[in-house]
Homo-oligomer: A and B are copies of this chain.
């Protein structure tokens, strides 16, 4: 639902929020958890321009009241879980309160501006943390382009399995190894086996990859044994982030049968730290994927007219890379691909409803990732496995270096944003991670 908070002409007294290129205008106000800026205790905040609004300071100084104050108080524990659990009304009340006090043209805004030294910290001076305590992390496989590309490498005659167009395929990932943007990722070791060899060997992965994904944080969940009808699924999502589901392809191809990926995935998953609320994304809703002629209709529990007309979200996603040599030679990061999130075969609401359709209980703070977002063209492929086509079409960097898979020192940067005529640009910030060598465990920040 669009309301006053989505008006494109809103201006903030925080000047950096009014530049057209910012990810964080007053219409966005994504929520996150940070350390620093005067306190080593994790605190919750909202991004505005190049600043962070400290929620506990707003409460302390009486700059929020009523339901907005109650919602801000829910973040006192240093995670967003309690706010997520409180449901969409609490989240919207906080959004309304924040917009009011950050506006350039309100009385409370004038008071907030006068107190700005006490409520704002410079985003450059804080360390962003994983915004929620993630109880369970689920990864889906919702891009038909990705599933078809990967399937065709391993099963040329039968790229897409018979269940794909009926079942939103997903599996459980590892919650403990979810790390915040900026954390280094240690190259994992594991078993792999070449077709030519009789036996597998154990050693550092030689086929390390990124996966460009979008993640949804669950807000109010469901009780065990109860499901979530598709009509309710949108309200159960709190907000979205970018996810890099790092993958070791050589480990994966040897281990994944018959129970799916395990050590190939669970060594690290990076999330962007700012959770863009479903409210901020309201202007960018789009139709669900247009199924091809002959594709089956979704089963009844996964079908609704409103999901079909507006279940999608038009997020533009980008993958950038910067190698160690590029950093050394002061060469800027280069974009590897870009893709729209509307390319996904299943909507996020369908993923949520499917997940709970057997009575599985979803809990506030659970992270549900989309699976690799790939489009139909080469430059819209969301992982190196696809982009370099299993190593057969290497990518060339500006330095002349070639990439089949990731090398130590490579920094991978995801960006995401929504743009639509008549609305402010809503950005996700960045999801960054640098690969370090297998012994290099000193640099880990998790």
Binding site for B on A (CB under 8 A): 135-136, 141, 151, 161, 163, 166-167, 169-177, 179, 186, 188-191, 193, 199-202, 223-227, 248, 251, 254-263, 266-268, 296, 299-301, 354-355, 357-363, 366, 441, 444, 446
Contacting pair B254 A359 (CB below 8 A): no
Give chain B residues whose Cβ lies under 8 Å from the Cβ of A358.
188-190, 248, 251, 263, 266-267
B224 touching A163, Cβ below 8 Å: no
Are B224 and A444 in contact, with the CB atoms below 8 A? yes
A260: chain B residues at CB < 8 Å are 171, 256, 258-261
Q: Which residues of B have CB within 8 Å of A299?
A: 191, 200-202
B225 touches A444 (CB 8 A): yes
Subset of 19 A-B contacts with CB under 8 Å: A135-B175, A136-B174, A136-B175, A166-B193, A167-B254, A169-B255, A171-B260, A174-B360, A177-B224, A186-B224, A199-B296, A200-B299, A202-B301, A256-B260, A258-B260, A263-B355, A263-B357, A266-B360, A268-B359
**Contact A360:B191 (CB < 8 A) given known A161-B257, A224-B446, A260-B259:** no
A170: chain B residues within 8 A (beta carbon): 259, 262
Q: Beyond A166-B191, A167-B200: 13 further Cβ-contacts under 8 Å?
A: A135-B135, A161-B258, A163-B200, A163-B255, A166-B199, A166-B200, A167-B191, A170-B259, A177-B361, A188-B359, A201-B299, A224-B444, A266-B358
Looking across the interface, which residue of chain B has its beta carbon closest to that of A166? B200
Looking at A161, A251, A256, which has the most chain B CB atoms within 10 Å of its CB?
A256
Asked whether A255 lies within 8 Å of B186 as measured between CB atoms, the reply is no
Shortest C-beta distance, A208 to chain B (Å), equals: 11
Chain B residues with Cβ below 8 Å from A176 are 135-136, 224, 360-363, 366
Contacts of A441 in B (CB 8 A): 223, 225-226, 359
| Residues of chain B with a CB closer than 8 A to A188's CB | 358-359
Closest chain B residue to A439, Cβ basis:
B225
Contacts of A444 in B (CB 8 A): 223-225
Which 6 residue pairs of A and B lie closest in terms of their CB atoms, listed nearest first? A260-B260, A188-B358, A172-B172, A186-B225, A171-B259, A225-B441
Closest to A170 in B: B262
* Chain B residues in 8 Å Cβ range of A179: 224
- Could you tell me the distance between the alpha carbons of A350 and B362 in the complex, rounded to whole angstroms? 31
A191 CA to B298 CA, complexed, in Å: 11
Min distance, Cβ A156 to any Cβ of chain B, angstroms: 15
Measured between beta carbons, the chain B residues less than 8 angstroms from A362 are 176
A175 & B174 in contact (Cβ 8 Å cutoff): no
Shortest Cβ distance from residue A266 to the other chain B in the assembled complex, whole angstroms: 5
Knowing A163-B255, A255-B169, A256-B258 touch, does A190 contact B357 (C-beta < 8 A)?
A: yes
The interface residues of chain B lying within 8 Å CB-to-CB of A268 are 224, 359
Rounded to whole Å, the gap between the CB of A259 and the closest CB of chain B is 4
Contacts of A363 in B (CB 8 A): 176
How distant is A109 from chain B, measured CB to nearest CB, in Å?
A: 41
| Chain B positions within 8 Å of A259 at CB level | 141, 169-171, 256, 260-261
Roughly how many angstroms separate A202 CA and B168 CA in the complex, as a whole number?
13
How far does the Cβ of A84 sit from chain B's closest Cβ, in whole Å? 14
Given the complex, which residues of B lie within 8 Å of A267, measured CB to CB?
224-225, 358-360
Please report the C-alpha to C-alpha distance between residue A170 and residue B226 in the assembled complex, in whole angstroms.
28
